[in-house]
Structure 1
């Protein structure tokens, strides 16, 4: 063997050794390193139990014969105190391993409420009920009005809160996670009602609001921007619905606004100017029924605005003479869109979607945001404005 050949073989041997080391490392990375499940897990009802695996593979979590998750990390919540047999099957490198445990759900130690527990933000748009519901008193700040909004919505004796025209919103939360179970999970109360027209029975006064939900994944007690998901109601995927619609309202000079007469719809006046990101502009009108300022008086800015999903206008003149306007109810997924006794006012958390319109699987929700979804003037009735009169968990039972 000549020297050159020997050197080549030495180099080749080193290369083979190096490749062997890499292959060995890769083999180590692919080793199955799951330590198994605990014998049992204990969690209070309406709290989320997290069981991570921290490995790759295919996962099937089941209770009895029902598959509850296919994720690598289980997020489990129950509205019922009971013991649940848990099975985990993991597929890895062509093999399947099976683990057994149980989840013991206990009754909570404290007292929970199925109703709204706190209001975190209140920023209404302009409207005829502004400064009245809730009432503004001279000198009130945003903090004062937030406190009044809380007084309106928190607890079982909630009253009504007006969000004004498109974009006006309220954010509220609960003292527990509302679980995402089979069927509809929570109800939002409003003041919608149906009229008497036999040819259009699901129409009347329906002012649909867009619903956003958030699960407090990091447990910091507030909804972070990356935790919000929109409830995809019946209109979400239609081309008549506008995503990322923006509107700006301009503060009027109240001293130059004429006073409407007393003959209702014939004397509405152009009042608060608005413009949107689609090149449109117009006015919110003032009517004879509400003489106060329609611009939130605790806002000092000369203009303010909102961005969000906008629904197609839903009000029309049923009389044909301008005397009787009605708003059609959309099928499902909106606030103030149907009477409180109607199934359409119940919301399924499984309807939640991300920014790209893809459905997400949330274990439950802790926060809700509602904004007025329509930008329309309904004749003498004035602007379409969502009202919120409370909300509650449909699963909670003492």
Structure 2
């Protein structure tokens, strides 16, 4: 059937029907809907409402429809929206009148609440303070928002600063509380400070080791660390029951003159008490007794210890519940020339060879890293000889001095204690032995826990040599961190001297730094004069966070006997 005449008739009737008669109301203009400032992305916090108020034109008699995921959630010109769940919510607003319609697409980002989190190491057990002295309280408060603080002692406000110095003027027990608050919530910590007289405080000390191995003819240092409440102490040292030294320092240089087992007694004496501790020293045969000849294998063949500091690559892509599992992971990575991250300051790895590495006066070791022009993450290299011949790295470590050795800004006895974060995946608090503190911060690129999974303790301490950081941000806004190199003598360092190669290495490819066993020094800075070594330790040497690129962390990809390949 020919339909054209009917279509034409329909069009004619429509046009006739749309012709305005005298006195008929004209159609309104279609609505126009916009957001002030032009942004269609709004932000709120979980559990909090947000009032969405668009700007309208020609909407006096309009109908409004707000939809979320195909479901109507409002029918007025404004919308009150809230959600308890963080995330992005896509909302569509449709406005219609007789003249037409308009649509506006909005996104509401609901952010998780970020109340402050207080970390104050030692607060769980409380503090003991000597009468007349001051306790410096420096909490680590994790907060992305402006945070106010309030310190109180026995209920009375004493400070609104973040840090607080508690003065122990009078003996007694005091209840101290810190409240931290921001717009998202609050946190608090409460603890006891006991102020005691000298007679009431407990002296304490710890020792680096309980037993030592040393070759005949060498001298090693025995010492106490983390000494507290020693006052005017005098330290008396005896070997085999015979006094050999006394003085104000808690250390003793033991010279291994004859082979055998020796009991060394350290005694602390002050006006209030006497404390003692026994150490054992095994004087081994002379150097060379346990030398192992070359095998032709240049690469290290075993990882004995792997204890990194917290960092963005720790626990990423691997699972280790014990030190043995962590060492197996690291050993597999080095076998593929793949990086093993040592995390922040003090993190270390210990490797060994299937032979002894000779000292010929030149470069004898190569440690593979991935430094490049603007990125050096230096690690101190230590070496050890298997002095007791048991095939384990339980003898004496000697530092290989580098260009920064002995400089005033280089700290030879620096220690950092890392604390398990309150939440899995949270920032890792740390405190050092010179009054500093901070956090290893999570970044958006690596969201796993940064605290080594095989460390069962709630905190652990790493001790070593700290180089002064050279890192800086020329952009001023945290977007362009530069980690300049040191001259020579460090792993994962873009050295102009010991890399022995040129080029900028822009792709961070594996490349070697080279080391001389002849640079090994004793605890007092003298040449160690080692004829060979069996074990190597590499340890992150800088304590520095660099914004979005994370902490400075030495990466190790291989350790080689350079004598076998040069």
Distance (whole Å) between structure 1 residues aligned to residue 425 and residue 378 of structure 2: 32
The answer (yes or no) to whether the contact 2:291–2:356 under 8 Å persists in 1 is: no
Match of 2:299 in 1: 115
Identify the structure with the greater strand proportion. Answer: 2
1:363 to 531, 556, 564: 531
How many residues align? The count is 270
The answer (yes or no) to whether the contact 1:123–1:168 under 8 Å persists in 2 is: yes
Match of 1:141 in 2: 322
1:278-357 map, 5 Å: 278-338=434-494, 342-343=499-500, 345-357=513-525
Q: Which has the higher contact order (CA 8 A, sep 6+)?
A: 1
For residues 363 and 272 of structure 1, do their structure 2 counterparts lie closer, same or farther at Cα, with a shift above 3 Å needed?
same
1:212 to 382, 403, 427: 382
TM-score (norm 1): 0.63
For residues 143 and 308 of structure 1, do their structure 2 counterparts lie closer, same or farther at Cα, with a shift above 3 Å needed?
same
Match of 1:249 in 2: 418
Distance (whole Å) between structure 2 residues aligned to residue 276 and residue 180 of structure 1: 36
1:147-296 map, 5 Å: 147-154=328-335, 157-194=336-373, 204-225=374-395, 227-254=396-423, 257=426, 271-296=427-452
State which structure, 1 or 2, has the greater radius of gyration over its C-alpha atoms.
2
For residues 113 and 279 of structure 1, do their structure 2 counterparts lie closer, same or farther at Cα, with a shift above 3 Å needed?
same
Shift of 1:189: 0.5
The answer (yes or no) to whether the contact 2:377–2:554 under 8 Å persists in 1 is: yes
TM-score (norm 2): 0.45
Distance (whole Å) between structure 2 residues aligned to residue 388 and residue 182 of structure 1: 24
Shift of 1:319: 3.0
For residues 113 and 169 of structure 1, do their structure 2 counterparts lie closer, same or farther at Cα, with a shift above 3 Å needed?
same
The answer (yes or no) to whether the contact 1:317–1:324 under 8 Å persists in 2 is: yes
The answer (yes or no) to whether the contact 1:215–1:367 under 8 Å persists in 2 is: yes
Distance (whole Å) between structure 1 residues aligned to residue 456 and residue 411 of structure 2: 29
Match of 2:314 in 1: 130
The answer (yes or no) to whether the contact 1:254–1:293 under 8 Å persists in 2 is: no
Q: Please give the per-residue CA displacement for 1:114-170, whole angstroms capped at 9, x wherever unaligned.
A: 00111111111100101016x126xx322211111111124xx32110110011110
Shift of 1:277: 0.8
Q: Please give the per-residue CA displacement for 1:200-257, whole angstroms capped at 9, x wherever unaligned.
A: xxxx1100011110122332212223x2100111101100100111110110122594
Identify the structure with the greater helix proportion. Answer: 1
Q: Please give the per-residue CA displacement for 1:176-198, whole angstroms capped at 9, x wherever unaligned.
A: 1111113211110011111xxxx
Match of 1:372 in 2: 540
Distance (whole Å) between structure 2 residues aligned to residue 246 and residue 211 of structure 1: 17
Distance (whole Å) between structure 2 residues aligned to residue 77 and residue 395 of structure 1: 19
Shift of 1:354: 0.6
For residues 241 and 298 of structure 1, do their structure 2 counterparts lie closer, same or farther at Cα, with a shift above 3 Å needed?
same
Structure 1 vs Structure 2 CA RMSD: 2.7
Shift of 1:322: 2.3
For residues 115 and 74 of structure 1, do their structure 2 counterparts lie closer, same or farther at Cα, with a shift above 3 Å needed?
closer
Unaligned runs of 5+ in 1: 1-53, 55-72, 80-106, 195-203, 258-270
Q: Please give the per-residue CA displacement for 1:30-76, whole angstroms capped at 9, x wherever unaligned.
A: xxxxxxxxxxxxxxxxxxxxxxxx9xxxxxxxxxxxxxxxxxx8969
Partner SS, residue 361 of structure 1: coil
